[in-house]
Chain A
Amino acid sequence: MSLLTVENLSVINSSSGRSISILKNIGFSLNSGETLAVIGETGSGKSMLCKSIIGLLPPGFLCSGNIHYTSSDNTKTSIISAEKSDLLNIRGREIGMVFQEAAASLNPVVRCGNQITDVLSVESKIDKNKAKKQARKLLETVGLSEPERIFHAYPHQLSGGMAQRVALALALAGKPQLLIADEPSSSLDSITKKYYLNLLNRLKQENNLTLILVTHDVDEALSFADNILVLYAGCMTEYGRTGAIKKAPAHPYTKALLNIARALKEKDFPTPIPGEISSLTNPPSGCRFHPRCPKAQDICRLKEPPSIDISDNHSVRCFFPAETI
């Protein structure tokens, strides 16, 4: 069953007086229990996509298209046109989010346990003592070995990995169906990162969570997700099942990212993608990847590429996807 459907999502930032296209024609669907990895470079719009889904875009950002979310009671909500009160019911209870800088997303002057207790007493409508018990249990669930100490600790007393897990406990407190994790492991060391990803996997199984994992680590996306969405400068370049993308990436950008990840793994020196990611304030005409694309031809500079279905659930936006080059 499709839990989340995103159709032709576009986001424009008009806060500075001029319109800057942040996201353009994004479309995908996510079934219950699946994991979607969103990959792309910094500035590709990954975090903005997450904020659009949870209805947390900053003032001055205009959203168009459709984001349909199916709640646990089978009610369908259009996130873009939903009333503020409906969004309040969805945020936390239906869709939880772990923000990129976990430590910064925690309240620095409230003990970690109390932050989780507050969420539990509001979301589950239970008394404080029960909520405190559940908060301790949640801290245990996210793999913190000293839940009692962490419960009484302030965020600054935690390591990066601990803060990340407290933020996860906070997101899980509302028992969401869909969890959005925005670069949860980017600042963690390799052992903590692997532990955290394994933990996410376990929690996903136990709670039948659907997960959107935002990352710029291609290896992480390939190892963890069922589907992958590749973003470049606000445009969707490729979307499909992980296996299909891993086996035969169709877009030159996806291919380049996968080649770098593969070279790093095989202990070769990788070949980086030439140039820098296109600026969103002054994007190139046609395909936004064309200035860096080794296969670019005249049409790529003139027209925006259409979405081509390569197979079931595998689409690419390119005039010359891998098979036809």
Chain B
Amino acid sequence: MQAGTTASKTLLQIQDLRIVYQQKNTFFTADQTVHAVNGVSFSIRQGESFAIVGRSGCGKTSIAMSALGFVKPSAGAISFMGENIWQLNRKDLRQLRPLIQPVFQDYGNSLNPRMTVNKIITEALRTQPNDRTQSDAVIQLLDSVGLDSGIRLRFPHQLSGGQKQRINIARALALNPKLLILDEPVSSQDLSAGVKLIELLNSLKQTYELSYLLISHNLSTVRLLSDRIAIMKDGVFIERGPAETLLQHPSDNYTKELIDASNLTNLSKTEQA
């Protein structure tokens, strides 16, 4: 669907990533070791959109959190623009961090309820050297995500779900990122608002030459937004390939099951009979 990305350079490279969570004995639980990610490798080129698809709890978000520098891997390497992010010193990591920005699923809780839209975006802009005045930059960012400048005086509770998610995207763009990590960006959205967001993300990808790491369990979203897909189960990739090819000709039974489950047409007929 999105061609012309194969010749570009590698932006993110993940090699044999392993993430193990140790849960200490608490009042509620006994000691537990959870192997969330078990040796995952992939790379994302500049301008490319790579999706990880799988059921809840398969380890998708752990990979994203690790790439963002929030969760330390137990083993393996995460390189961004050739630098192993987990071996960088604090100063270098601080310089690199703005280039990888997250857009979370829970769009409402990602925005400070006490800040206006203007302040939310200005906060991000303040960390960046900028030629424009901050108010010009805010208006331009709002415009780039399809929002009217009048919205900048509103608080998050005065916005619709679609508008909130656009503010999250505008805030991420304020830092001039190269890679956006989109964790279920449209799963909480209505049908129409979700489609509009997909349109926006596809156009921003072209305009800002962005790369996406998309985390999702919604195959419709994935098909419209990604160039390549990896299907994840129990911490490992079980199948991967170009989006259209994989969705049209899945080879693994689990992938077939995921695709089949997204089709609800036989639901009432089989069960109500």
Name which residue of chain B comes closest to A273, CB basis. B192
Question: From residue B35, how far is it (CB to closest CB) to chain A in Å?
Answer: 16
CB-defined contacts of A42 to chain B, threshold 8 Å: 160-161, 190, 193
Q: Is A223 within 8 A of B267, CB to CB?
A: yes
In the complex, the answer to whether B271 meets A159 with C-beta atoms within 8 Å is: no
Q: Is the CB of A198 within 8 A of B191?
A: no
Contact residues of B between 92 and 125, Cβ < 8 Å to A: none
Could you say which residues of chain B place their CB within 8 Å of the CB of A43?
160
B264:A154 contact, CB within 8 angstroms: no
Complex-state Cα separation, A205 to B271, whole angstroms: 9
- Nearest residue (CB) in B for A197 is B267
Residues of A near B130 (CB, < 8 A) are none
B262 on the interface (CB 8 Å rule)? yes
When chains A and B are docked, how far (Å) is the Cα of A206 from the Cα of B263? 24
Instruction: Give the docked Cα–Cα distance between A152 and B264 (Å).
Output: 33
User: A205 touching B267 by the CB < 8 A rule?
Assistant: no
Closest to A264 in B: B220
**Does chain A have a CB within 8 A of B84?**
no
User: What's the least CB distance linking B33 to chain A, in Å?
Assistant: 15
Chain B at the A interface: mostly helix, strand, loop or mixed?
Answer: helix
B192–A257 touching, CB < 8 Å: yes
Contact among B28, B218, B265 for A223, CB-based, below 8 A: B265
Name the contact of A193 in the complex, choosing from B160, B261, B268 (C-beta under 8 A).
Answer: B261
Residue A276 CB within 8 A of the other chain:
yes
Determine whether the beta carbon of B264 is less than 8 Å from that of A194. yes
Q: Contacts of B272 on A, CB cut-off 8 Å?
A: 201, 205
Q: Are B162 and A276 in contact (CB under 8 A)?
A: yes
Chain B residue at minimum C-beta to C-beta distance from A186: B188
Q: B55 an interface residue at 8 Å Cβ cutoff?
A: yes
Instruction: Answer yes or no: A160 CB below 8 A from chain B CBs.
Output: yes
User: B265's closest neighbor in chain A, by CB?
Assistant: A223
- Asked whether A197 and B28 contact (CB < 8 A) given A186-B188, A191-B257, the answer is no
In the complex, besides A42-B193, A219-B264, A261-B191, 20 extra interface pairs with C-beta distance below 8 angstroms are A41-B190, A41-B192, A42-B190, A189-B56, A189-B217, A190-B218, A191-B55, A194-B261, A198-B270, A198-B271, A201-B272, A202-B271, A222-B264, A223-B264, A224-B264, A257-B192, A267-B223, A269-B199, A272-B199, A276-B193
A-B contact pairs, 23 of them (CB 8 A): A41-B190, A41-B193, A157-B28, A159-B56, A161-B56, A189-B55, A190-B219, A190-B261, A191-B261, A194-B267, A201-B272, A205-B271, A216-B191, A223-B267, A223-B268, A256-B192, A260-B191, A271-B195, A272-B192, A272-B195, A273-B192, A276-B160, A276-B163
